Structure formats: structure tokens, C-alpha cells
A and B are shown apart, each in its own frame.
Chain A
Amino acid sequence: MLATLVTAVVEGLQGALVRVEVDVAPGLPVCQIVGLPDAALSEARERVRGAIRNSGFAYPAQRITVNLAPAGRRKHGAAYDVAIAVGILVASGQVAASGGDWALLGELSLSGEVHPVPGVLPMVHTLARAGARRVGVPAANVAEAALVEGIEVEPLRGLDDAARLVAGPRGRRAARASRAAPVAVSGVIAAGATGSAPLVEAGPPVDLADVRGQAAARWGLEIAMAGGHSLLLVGPPGAGKTLLAGTIPGLLPALDDREALEVTVIASVAGLLGPGDGLRRGRPFRAPHHTASYAALVGGGPRLAPGEVSLAHAGVLFLDELAEFDRDVLEALRQPLEEGSVVVARAQGTLRFPAQVQLVAAMNPCRCGYFGDPDRACTCAPGDPERYVRRVSGPLLDRLDLRIEMPRVRPSELLLGPDPESSAAVAARIAEARARSLARNGGRLNARLGGRETVELGRLGDPARELLAAVAIRRSLTARGVHRILRVARTIADLAGRDPVDTGDVLAAADLRDPAAAARPGLAA
């Protein structure tokens, strides 16, 4: 007897429809899965057999053939378990398919429980577009699946739930099904998310009120966050670079609807959505370690998973200890930073992941960390500090808008002085400035403006324009350098609610250093 069910596969960030055909026929009792399954999928037959037996059904002692169509498309993961198991039940006549057409997603445990799987959001979206009306998803994935409109979502806790859905209210035989008592495991593990855990997302963001001293760096950070400018923090160990970066999530406004959906889809595919997580509204803040590989940062790997730069889409990618990153890995970031997306090309085809990130990087000024420190001696050889900065790819430094130098905080500053402003106050100013620039620039932040647009939308007053020319000539700036100052000046004016940009804004922007300048020789002179 033949049973056909519908399920979906994820490729990149897109889902694709997959039909599960199960044939149970007389013959030797073997189960064969065909249709380019990967290892996790091939092992589905063992999970499915255990789940069927432990749910109170009988595993047919006949020849079982499972076909995943279309046969030419690679399939991976365990999201087909439920569909295969129900297909076997229907094909062996244990469950009547009288409940209508159900698409089914979910991984089975041997006890018959349904476990969450990554990528439910794009898969359900695909099913809905393909015309499916009803879908059963793992209970832990219901929140994300419910974001898709026009499709009825039912939670699945066990194989018995799936059998009942397919059998419908009149499927008497399915009522017999039950689940075996769950095996007691540690609650923490049982409740954990399915994918790789986020690296730094743990814990609430640091509040700016907890960052003492560093008034200049706070100012620079505010500008960077208001304009979406990429930022390089340079300072000795203990200056508070990482702490300051930790305040970023608390300074950024919530995602809008479109961004939120994109971010949630990426998180879903990467398996970062926890049980019950629906639409993501907070901006992503990803801080990969400097040992991160090319595939981890840019995306790819055998499963074509999104990399950190995509996981940080619409948010901030924070690279701590920038100079310690592998040079080739950083070079690979140039294209995403410029185009706002990553293209991963493989023999099977190319995939495009969105990657509109604001890059924030931190590094020491030299290997020992104390170059230019007023109090502590730098132990590097002469010329080493320049070499250290040059380890970071020059073209990457060229793509950074601002460099903030952070001195070491003196103990007196930690204990005395006025209480610093809180994140809430700064975030309000940032949100206002962002709203101004988005309205003026047609939905883009100042940092995303191209060269000519910068001049047009920058709206310079005449004195400011002449002053910028004077600065450019005295510093022999390149066109890139002029646009950089102009964009930053535009943001400073937006923060102050000024239009047009005045001379003070241009001068203040010119004081925020050029990140690439540190790599030029002659620093030691």
C-alpha cells in the first residue's frame, strides 16, 4: 500500500517542497530510504522504527521503501522523521488518512516524542506558498511557524499527535496510540535549543551607566550607532573595549517588520531559535572568536549554513582582537561589507545570504598593548606597533568609518566623577537621529550612502562645504576620506537635529580618526 505526505527541505534561507512516498509491500523486512538522503536522514529508519513501536503501533514486518521526491535534490537533517513514520503507519493500514492533507515536520526520538528542528519558519513559508493548508510542527517550533499567514499550524508533541491529525476525528484506530513515558533526562538538556548556541548573546546587554570614564569613546560609539558607521576601537588591555561593545545591543532600536522576519528566518535556519521563540525584534549582536574559520564567519560548509556575518544581519558583527583574526578570513568579509550580502558558491549552485552588518572591531595598539600609553612602557621593538596594525588587511581597514582610541581608565575615574549617562538616554537620542536619517535618505542610514548621494543628501551649508575642502586639501584626503568625514558629519548633525550640516560638525567628524591611518608608516616619528 502506498502513502504520500508533504514536507519541506531548507536550502540556504529558502524552503523547497518535498514529497514523502512510502510503500509497504510483501517481502523481506527491510526499510530503504532513497532520494539523496544524508547520514542523519539515513538513520531516520532506526528512529522511526523505535518511535512507532514505543508509541503503541506495530512496525510492519514487510519491505518498506521510502522515496523523497524530487529525487535529485539533496536532503539533510531529521525534519522528515514524522512524515516517514506517519507514512509507514498509513501505508501499513494502521492509520486511515481521513483527516485531510497534512504537511508534517519534526524529528522523532525513540520514545515517539517530536523534537524541534531548525528552519521551520522558511519550511512552513514554502509549504504555505505551495498551497498546503495545514501543517503539524514540533511543539517547540509553533511560535515561529505561526508567523506564516494562511496556514493552520498544529503542535506535535509525539507521533501519536501526528497520527491523530492525519486520521482526523473519525480515525478510530489512531486513538489507540499512546506515547511511552519519556526517559528522564536532565531538564537543561531537554529544554535546550536545537542548533549551535549563540556565542555572546547570553546575558542582557551592558548598560552604559556601568561604563565609567571613556567620555570620548562613548561619544564616538553614539555617533557610530546613530549612523550605522563601522567602528574600530583601539586601546590597551583593560581600557574597556569589550565592555563598551557589550553596550551596543542596548543602544540599537528594535528591528522593523521586514528586518525582523529576515533575522528570524536566518536564526531559524541556523537553529538559534529557542523553544517558543517567535519573531525576533532585538538587533543581532554576534561576537565570533578570533579563531573562527572562513566558513564560520562567511557561511557555507557542507550544509551551506549561514555564517556569523549573516547571523548578524541587520545588527552588529563584533570582532574582538581584530589583529588576531586570520587574514584570509577577514579578507572574505570585504564583499559582504560592501554589498550587504554573501554569495556562497558550491558545485551544486550558489546561495545568497543577506549580510547587512555594522562592523565593530576592537584591537590592541600593538602586540603588548601599551603603545602610546602615558604610564606603562610598551615592550615592543621599534616599528612593531606599525607591523601589528598592518596585520589587519588594509582594504578592510579602509572600509571602517571611525577609529576611537581608548586610553586606560585611571582608578580615580572609576571611583570619582559624575555618574555616566544610562543606555536608555543615549538610545533615545540614537533612535531619533536614525529616524531623521532614514526619512531623509529613503530608508537608509548615513553609513549606507554612496559617494554622490553623500554629497547630495549630506546637505552641507556653504561654510561647511568650504571648510571640508580646506580640510581635504590640508590633509590630502582621498575621495573616500572626504565622503567618510561627510557621512560622519551628517550623523553628528542628525544627533543634534541640525540641518544643514555646519562647520562644527565637519570639524568634529574630522577629529574622529581614519582607521586606515594607523597602518601607514611614520607613526613612530
Chain B
Amino acid sequence: MLGVGLFGPLGPAPGGTRHRAAEVGDVRARAAGDPQTGGPRDGRASFSPPGPAGAPAAEARSGRPAGIHPASGHPELAEERQAWIVLATVDGVGERTLAGLVAAHGSARHALWLAARGRLGRALGGVADGRRGIIPAATIAGIERAAREPGARLSALAARGVWTLTLLDPDYPRRLLTLLSPPPVLFGQGDARAMETPRSVAVVGTRRPSPGGRWEAARTAAGLAARGVTVVSGLAVGIDGAAHAAALDAGGMTIAAIGSGHARPGPAAHRGLAERIRASGAVIGELPPDAHASRGTYPRRNRLIVALADAVVVVEAPARSGALITAHLALEQGVPLCVARGQEGAERSAGCRALLDEASAWPFTDVTSLCDSMGWRAVAADGSQEGGRPGRADPGLSPEESTAPGPPTATPDGHEITPLPPLGAAERMIARRLAGGPATMDELLAVTGAAPGELAAALTLLQLRGLARTLGPLYLPAGSLLLAVP
């Protein structure tokens, strides 16, 4: 693959397809025209395309200086930034069109200025092959509408609580700059700094997982969260959802990269989950808020997942799964790929086995070995180094935690209610069995030899304490039981 991105440096990237961080910084410096790093100021470096029909022609036509002038906070830069965002809210304007417009007209501001007067031409700049160098008429109409009311577009974003980051911003996520075609405008909700955490791992997989796969995803995400690693996924039902939820439950940071607009992030069943992620992580995407997901948006979203992660874990993927696209993108970008092999012969893990057999993926066993392979020492969620491993033999089941009366819960009217009874020996034994994976009540009966009533009571207690949950006939470990070493 040729290392030429529309916003990237000219020519193939040295050192493989993934750019080095220093170079990334360089790119941004050039994009921002930062004088201190000596970025070129002619506007060619970051916005002009590789090819003859570039900025000079545009400059000649418009008589305006192309590109962005230095000094962040410069009023023109702020205006240009807003022009980018306004353009990005137009249906049909992606990173290619935006770059082409900037190349053809010198700046987004100028393109909008022309569009507001109905004089925006249909030709895109910087398109070498000319094949897709024409903007569809519908898109032109959309741009003209946006150009007449740019303020409304921006305030609509603000009203939704959507923030934006553009390639022009110094705080554009560094991780995304490693992409060959980073989204020029990133829309997000929640905490944008989630994308700057030093360690992050993507957990992806099928939308129709087995209970075992769901548990594997939850266990992995909880383990990562406990080590202070940010969990990245795609907010889809199935593995994605299990990973997000477990990371949140473990008090960790999680990022959802979505393939639709922020008005409808992910499936309806995940509205609540998206809300939780916004509160303690970030939901990001490159589509404007009202955009619908379509055939191509999910695969493109996957590249964001890969770019935001230091490693990708595929938990469960059948032979044809979107998670495999993510896996191949990871291989392409040189992001370490870990794949859980799954049950031998299980259809639901056929794609995983193919990755392991045919591609250079690591077999995924557990979070500890993954972190070891990445050279990560255990870090607590607050960033401080910790000597020990967070995985204990029976977390949540230590004598202090299990016999001490739980924190008293009060009713909304302030009436204090009784704490839950402490976990007894029987409950701890069941918990230890559950830590080894999902089990039906029949299996637990066979293992523990308890009477059904006693077992049911113990399971209720575990559920009330957040250590177990149910899925059909199965009981799944949850909370700190996910971190237990069986």
C-alpha cells in the first residue's frame, strides 16, 4: 500500500505503514504551521495534494493565500477551523471531499464563501486519478445550505453536547494522526482526554457471541480497566457492549468509536450504555450527529478503533465478521493483534482460528500475559505504579470484604436499609467456581452438592453484591469476580 494520505506527508512513510510519533508531531506542526518547529508556511505541506492540480492553481484563481497561517489562536485559524467543522456537518462531505475542497480553493473558508454565493465549483483539487474528482450535485447543494447558515450548524453541535477536534487543533488525538487518512474533523461526546491515555487496548468481536465469549470479553475488559488500561470498542451489541460495560463496572476508562452520528450512537439497546460511557469516557466518531450508519461507515469506524489502541484483542469472530476487518486493519497498521482461539470447532470462533493460523496474530490467553507482552507493568487507575498484580485469588472474597457488613444503602427518602448478610463459606465456594466461567444452576448443583434452595439463595446474594449476573440459564461472573484467578 502506498503511504500517501490526503492529509499525510508526501511520499511513502518511512519505517513501515505506521508513522512514528516524532513524525506525527511533525505532521501536526506543519498542519498548524507552528513556527517553533519550523513547519512550512506555504500551505502546501499539509493540505496540498500530491499532484499537479494543487494549491498554486487555487491560489492563482482565488488570489487568496492558501493554507493556514501560524500561531494557534490566530483569528483566521479559528475561522478556518470553524469552516472545516461546518463542511464536515454536510452529508456527503468526508475527509476526501474536505481535503479536495481545501486543495481546490485554498481554504475551507474560501470554499464556504464561494458556496454561500452559489459559485462553488464541482471540481475537487488534489485528486490524481480524476475518477472521483467531481462533487455530486446533491453534496454541492448541501454545502451551499450549510454555507448560508454556518452559525446554526455550530450551535446545533453545541446544543447536542458534541465537541469537535480538527486536524488543525494542537490537541487533535496523536493516536489518530498515525492513520493514513485521519478524520479531518472528529465529533465526540464525553472526555476527549480519554484518547490520550498512555495505554489502551481494543476489545472487539462478534455481535452474536456465546455466553462464554461474552464472559471472555467482560473478563478481559475488567482486567484491563483494573490495570489502568483504556478499553476501546465499537458500542455494538455482543462483545463490544460486554467489553464497554465491564470496563465501566471496573471503574476504568473506555472509548466507543461509533459508525453513525451522535444522535443515534449504536443500537437502541445500548442507549444507556452510551450514556454511561459519555459520563466516564468518550464516544467518538467522524460522522456529523444526524448521520445514519450505512454500509461503509462501520468498516471505516474500525480504523479509528485500531488507531486508538496499542493492541487489539479479538474475542470471538465467526468466519465473516466485522471484527475481522478490525483485525486486518491492525495487521496493516502494525498494531499487535491478539486473538482468543475459542472452543475448538466452534463456528463462532472460526474467524479467530483463521487469524491465528494464517496471520501473524498472537494467541490471547489472559490480560496478564498480554500486558507482559506489551511490556506494561501494573498501573493503578490513577496512574501510580503498583508493585503487585491486580488479579487476586479471590477478589471480593477476602475475609474482610466478605464478612464485613456491606455498605449500608439508604432509600431515596433517607430511610436506611439493612446491609446484605455476609458471604458464607458456601457462597465463596460457588463464587470460586463461577470465576472459572459461566455455569448453569445444574452444573453448580453438581459441583457444590448443595440443595437447590440453598444454591439459589447463595446466587441471589452474589447477584445483589454485583459478583454474578444471569444470562438465560447461565450465571456469569461479574464485578470483581471477573478479575479472580480461578
Residues of A within 8 A of B (CB): 213-216, 219, 234-235, 365, 371-375, 377-378, 380, 382-383, 386, 405-407, 413, 417, 466-467, 469-471, 473-475, 492, 496, 503-505, 507-508, 510-513, 521-525
Q: Which residues of B211-244 are within 8 A (CB) of A? A: 211-212, 236-238, 241-242
Q: List, sorted by A's number, 9 A–B pairs whose CB atoms are closer than 8 Å.
A: A215-B442, A215-B452, A382-B238, A383-B269, A405-B473, A466-B417, A507-B461, A522-B269, A525-B272
B77 to chain A, nearest CB (A): 42
Instruction: From the candidates A371, A372, A469, A492, name the one contacting B418 in the complex (CB within 8 A).
Output: A469
Q: CA A235 – CA B242 in complex, angstroms?
A: 23
Q: Are A405 and B472 in contact (CB under 8 A)?
A: yes
Given contacts A372-B474, A374-B210, A525-B273, contact A507 B438 (CB under 8 A): no
B453–A508 CB distance below 8 A? yes
A186 CB → nearest B CB, Å: 48
Q: Within 8 Å CB of B453, what residues of A?
A: 219, 492, 496, 504-505, 508
- Known contacts A510-B460, A521-B269; is-contact A371 B420 (Cβ 8 Å): no
Asked if B210 and A235 sit within 8 Å, CB to CB, the answer is: no
Cα-based distance from A382 to B452 in the complex (angstroms): 33
Report chain A residues within 8 Å CB of B417: 466, 469-470, 473
Contacts of B442 in A (CB 8 A): 213-216, 407, 413
B440 and A372 contact, CB distance less than 8 A: no
Find B241's partner among A213, A374, A524 (CB 8 Å cutoff).
A524
Nearest CB in chain B: distance from A497 CB, A: 13
A525–B245 CB distance below 8 A: yes
Are A521 and B268 within 8 A (Cβ)?
yes
State the CA gap A365–B460 with chains docked (Å): 22
Taking the complex as formed, is B175 at the interface, i.e. its CB lies under 8 A from any CB of chain A?
A: no
- How many residues from B make CB contacts under 8 Å with A? 50
Tell me the bound Cα distance from A246 to B273 in angstroms: 42
Query: Which listed residue (A406, A469, A470) contacts B464, Cβ 8 A?
Result: A470
Q: Which residues of B contact A375 (CB under 8 A)?
A: 210, 346
Check A372 against B472 for contact (C-beta < 8 Å). yes
> Which B residues lie within 8 Å of A372 (CB)?
211, 471-474
B242 close to A377 (CB less than 8 A):
no
* Inter-subunit contact A512/B208 (CB<8 Å): no
Cβ of B152 within 8 Å of any chain A Cβ, yes or no, is no
- Nearest Cβ in chain B — how far from A214, in angstroms? 7
Given A216-B441, A407-B473, also A471-B454 (CB < 8 A)? no
| Contact indicator B420/A470 (Cβ below 8 Å) | yes
Q: Which of chain B's residues have a CB closer than 8 A to the CB of A510?
A: 460
Closest 6 CB pairs of A and B: A372-B472, A507-B457, A219-B452, A405-B473, A511-B456, A216-B441
B470 at the interface (CB under 8 A from A): yes
In the complex, which of the residues B208, B242, B270, B440 contacts A378, with contact meaning CB atoms closer than 8 Å? Answer: B208
Instruction: From the candidates B210, B318, B445, name the one contacting A215 in the complex (CB within 8 A).
Output: B445
Would you list which residues of chain B between 446 and 461 have a CB under 8 Å from chain A?
446, 452-454, 456-461
Quick check: B456 and A470 within 8 Å, CB to CB?
Answer: no
Bound CA span A523–B211, Å: 12
Choose among A372, A377, A378, A511 the residue with the greatest number of B CB atoms under 10 Å from its CB: A511
B245 near A473: Cβ-Cβ < 8 Å? no
Cβ–Cβ < 8 Å partners of A371 in chain B? 472
CB distance from B273 to the nearest CB of A (A): 6
Chain B positions within 8 Å of A513 at CB level: 470
How close is A210's CB to chain B, nearest CB, in angstroms? Answer: 17
The interface residues of chain B lying within 8 Å CB-to-CB of A512 are 456
Whether A382 and B460, one on each chain, are in contact in the complex, defined by CB atoms closer than 8 angstroms, is no
State whether B441 touches A382 (Cβ < 8 A): no
- Cβ of B386 < 8 Å from any Cβ of A? no
A-side contacts of B409, CB under 8 Å = 470, 473-474
- Residues of A with C-beta under 8 A to B445: 215-216
Q: Is there a chain A Cβ closer than 8 Å to B36's Cβ?
A: no
- Given A407-B473, A471-B464, A525-B241, check contact A377 B348 (CB 8 Å): yes
Nearest to A385 among chain B residues (CB) is B472
The A-B contact count (CB < 8 A) is 133
Query: In the bound complex, how far is the Cα of B461 from the Cα of A503, in angstroms?
Result: 11
A469 to B408, CA, bound (A): 12
In angstroms, Cα B185 to Cα A355, docked, is 66
| A365-B472, A374-B474, A473-B411 given; A522·B272 CB < 8 A | yes
Q: Closest Cβ of chain A: how far from B381's Cβ, in Å?
A: 23
Q: How far is the CA of A386 from the CA of B471 in the complex (A)?
A: 13
Report whether B418 and A467 are in contact in the complex, using a CB–CB cutoff of 8 Å: yes
Across-interface contacts of B440 in A (CB, < 8 A): 216, 374, 407
Name the distance in Å between B456's Cβ and chain A's nearest Cβ: 4
A525 near B268 with CB under 8 A, answer no
Q: A215-B445, A469-B417, A504-B453 are in contact. Are A525 and B237 (CB under 8 A)?
A: yes
Cα distance A512–B457 in the bound complex, in angstroms: 10
Given A383-B267, A470-B419, A524-B238, A235 contacting B207 (CB threshold 8 A): no
Residues on the A chain within 8 Å of B347, using CB? 377
Chain A residues lying within 8 Å of B418, measured Cβ to Cβ, are 466-467, 469-470
Interchain CA distance A405-B241 in the complex, whole Å = 23
List of B residues within 8 angstroms of A406 by Cβ: 473
Q: Could you tell me if B419 and A511 are in contact, using CB atoms closer than 8 angstroms?
A: no
CB nearest neighbor in B for A407: B473
| A374–B475 alpha-carbon span in the complex (Å) | 11
A512 to B456, CA, bound (A): 8
Decide: A377 and B210 in contact? CB cutoff 8 A: yes
Please name all residues of chain A whose beta carbon is closer than 8 Å to the beta carbon of B237 when the two chains form the complex: 382-383, 524-525
Q: How far is the CA of A218 from the CA of B110 in the complex (A)?
A: 75
A442 to B440, CA, bound (A): 38
Residue of B nearest to A466 (CB): B418
A213 to B445, CA, bound (A): 11
Q: How far apart are B209's CB and chain A's nearest CB, in angstroms?
A: 9
Measured in the bound complex, the distance between the Cα atoms of B346 and A178 in whole Å is: 78
Asked if B421 is at the interface (CB within 8 A of a chain A CB), the reply is: yes
- Say how far A61's CB is from chain B's closest CB, in angstroms: 77
Q: Given A407-B440, A522-B272, A525-B269, decide whether A374 and B208 contact each other with a Cβ distance below 8 A.
A: no
Cα–Cα distance between A507 and B267 once the two chains are bound (Å):
34
Docked-complex contact B473 and A511, CB < 8 angstroms: no
The residue in chain B whose Cβ has the minimal distance to the Cβ of A365 is: B472
Bound: A496/B241 CA distance, A? 42
Within 8 A of A (CB), among B323-373: 346-348
Q: Which residues of B contact A467 (CB under 8 A)?
A: 418, 420-421
CB distance from B431 to the nearest CB of A (A): 15
Q: Which single residue of chain A is at the shortest CB-CB distance from B471?
A: A372
Known: A374-B438, A380-B208, A470-B419. 6 other contacts (CB 8 A): A372-B211, A382-B237, A382-B238, A407-B442, A522-B272, A524-B241
Give 1 or 0 for each of B417-436: 1 = CB within 8 Å of chain A CB.
Answer: 11111000000000000000
CB distance A382 to B267 under 8 Å? yes
Question: Given the complex of chains A and B, what is the CA–CA distance between A405 and B474 in angstroms?
Answer: 8
> Considering the chains assembled together, what is the distance between the CA atoms of A469 and B464 in angstroms?
12
Identity of the chain B residue whose Cβ is nearest the Cβ of A520 in the assembled complex: B269
Question: In the bound complex, what is the Cα–Cα distance between A374 and B411 (angstroms)?
Answer: 38
Which residues of the partner chain B approach A511 to less than 8 Å between Cβ atoms? 456-457, 459-460, 463
Residues on the A chain within 8 Å of B269, using CB: 383, 386, 521-525
Q: Which of B272, B440, B461, B474 has the most CB of A within 10 A?
A: B440
Closest to B241 in A: A525
- What is the minimal beta-carbon distance from A326 to any residue of chain B, in angstroms? 26
A395–B459 alpha-carbon span in the complex (Å): 28
> Do the beta carbons of A474 and B464 come within 8 Å of each other?
yes
A380 to chain B, nearest CB (A): 8
Chain B residue at minimum C-beta to C-beta distance from A462: B418
Chain A CB count within 10 A is highest, among B348, B438, B446, B456, for B456
